[in-house]
């Protein structure tokens, strides 16, 4: 039983075969999926998917790429959406200093404002952090006190992972752990406490080996689980069971 904790099934890359993709996920042991909001429009689409499919939950939030599009009323809308039964977190939010598609100062401002929405609504958080590890941690420590969440597609150091875990946070792992150039990531996934690990696909992105280069989909989360199981010397069933429980614990989901 796999729980894909981070997918973007509302993406246009799934327009022609979304139902088939979801059916394949079920056939490959994926029982539940969290579909992630990346801007106001995709957050609304994610909520729509929760109404179509029992197995799908949603998050709502604005990705740092789209920080420049945020208007003040969006924060109230995000808060209102959190009242819906299958909306489980604020996200994905954070900083992206690799693409810099929104000004960094604006990214930081929108990130902090959304942390405040999470605090007010008592919701966990899904973090996007690319090439901004230091500032992400600084903001979480200063503005995110008392909040918990997951740093999705973790790409930081072992020291950063340990700090997050000490804060009660979770680490998200997806396709890059299977890449030959994964660098320090496999060692981190081997060492972190299993009770703090989530598996994810980030579909349609970050496709794991052996399908790297093709469109990703939730069915492929098993390859992430298999790779982590091999690194840790445990069964894939143990990884599946633990990570499913972790998603439920973080997002307060009762299966």
Contact 141/163 with Cβ under 8 angstroms? no
With tokens 């598996």, the residue in question is: 199
Determine the Cα–Cα distance for residues 184 and 167; give it in Å rounded to an integer: 22
Binding positions for a divalent metal cation: 6, 8, 92, 128, 152, 202
Mean pLDDT computed over 204-211: 98
Mutual angle of helices 236-251 and 221-232, in 10-degree steps: 110
Domain ranges of the chain: 2-251
Report residue 138's pLDDT band, with 50, 70 and 90 as the boundaries.
very high
pLDDT at position 217: 98
Mean pLDDT computed over 187-216: 98
Supply the mean pLDDT for the chain: 98
CA distances for 179 relative to 107, 131, 212, 238, angstroms:
29, 19, 8, 22
pTM of the full structure: 0.97
Report residue 73's pLDDT band, with 50, 70 and 90 as the boundaries.
very high
Binding positions: 6, 8, 92, 128, 152, 202
Sign of torsion, CA 170 176 178 180?
A: negative
As given in the structure block, the two tokens for residue 84 are 């819906």
CB atoms within 10 A of CB 212: 16
pLDDT at position 200: 98
Per-residue pLDDT tens digits for 90-113: 999 999 999 999 999 999 999 999
pLDDT at position 108: 98
The CATH class for the domain spanning 2-251 reads alpha beta
Report residue 25's pLDDT band, with 50, 70 and 90 as the boundaries.
very high
Would you call 245 helix, strand, or coil by DSSP?
A: helix
Mean pLDDT computed over 1-25: 98
pLDDT at position 122: 98
Contact 48/243 with Cβ under 8 angstroms? no
| DSSP conformational letter for 12 | G
pLDDT at position 190: 96
Determine the Cα–Cα distance for residues 91 and 43; give it in Å rounded to an integer: 9
């Amino acid at each position: 039983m796999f729980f894909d904790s981070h997918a973007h099934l509302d993406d246009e890359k799934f327009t022609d075969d979304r139902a088939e993709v979801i059916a394949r996920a079920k056939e490959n042991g994926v029982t539940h999926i969290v579909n992630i909001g990346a801007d106001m429009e995709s957050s609304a689409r994610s909520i729509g998917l929760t109404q179509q499919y029992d197995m799908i939950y949603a998050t709502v939030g604005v990705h740092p790429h789209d920080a420049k599009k945020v208007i003040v009323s969006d924060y109230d809308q995000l808060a209102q959406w959190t009242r819906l039964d299958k909306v489980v977190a604020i996200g994905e939010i954070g900083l992206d200093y690799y693409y810099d598609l929104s000004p960094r100062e604006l990214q930081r401002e929108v990130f902090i404002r959304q942390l405040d929405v999470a605090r007010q609504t008592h919701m966990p958080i899904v973090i996007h952090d690319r090439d901004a590890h230091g500032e992400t941690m600084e903001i979480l420590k200063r503005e995110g006190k008392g909040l918990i969440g997951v740093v999705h597609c973790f790409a930081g150091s072992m020291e950063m992972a340990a700090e997050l875990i000490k804060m009660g946070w979770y680490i998200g792992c997806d396709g890059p752990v299977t890449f030959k150039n994964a660098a320090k990531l496999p060692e981190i996934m081997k060492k972190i406490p299993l009770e703090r690990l989530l598996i994810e696909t980030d579909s349609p992105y970050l496709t794991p080996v052996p399908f790297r280069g093709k469109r990703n989909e939730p069915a492929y989360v098993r390859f992430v689980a298999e790779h982590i199981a091999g690194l840790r010397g445990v069964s894939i069933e143990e990884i599946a069971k633990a990570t499913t429980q972790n998603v439920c614990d973080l997002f307060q989901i009762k299966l």
